[in-house]
Amino acid sequence: QVQLVESGGGLVQAGGSLRLSCAASGRSFSSYDMGWFRQAPGKEREFVAAINWNAGSTNYADSVKGRSTISRDNAKKTVDLQMNSLKPEDTAVYYCAASSTQGKPYWSAKYEYWGQGTQVTVSS
């Protein structure tokens, strides 16, 4: 069992930066692939970024590629998402997710555990 708690969201002006953090509790965090997803009002949840269990592989949605960096610290059981050059279209609730299976980082169904989400609002 893994519990996830996100933090770091907030209100920021376009062009600004935010660092989202996800703290995990439970055993075997270091064996889980981790992902960030987001959901804007009236839209479906979408993939943002993912990092595999040993940080050897990262993946990004085209919409955030070049502006975001995902990282993890297995000793601290945390995974972070640094987002720069934020745009109003980045406004959404951001969710952290954990998966005990490898591969298919874009596929939300592979992630068994989800946090409650943190709101990111980017003003123009």
Q: Both tokens of residue 111?
A: 């992630």
* φ, ψ dihedrals at 27, nearest 5°: -90, 160
Helix (H, G, I), strand (E, B) or coil at 25: strand
pLDDT value for 43 = 96
The two beta strands, 113-114 and 92-99, are antiparallel
Tens digits of residue pLDDT in 100-122: 999 899 999 999 999 999 999 99
Tens digits of residue pLDDT in 18-49: 999 999 998 889 999 999 999 999 999 999 99
Strand partners, 80: 21, 71
pLDDT value for 1 = 85
- Length, in residues, of the chain: 124
Strand partners, 123: 13
Tens digits of residue pLDDT in 71-103: 999 999 999 999 999 999 999 999 999 999 998
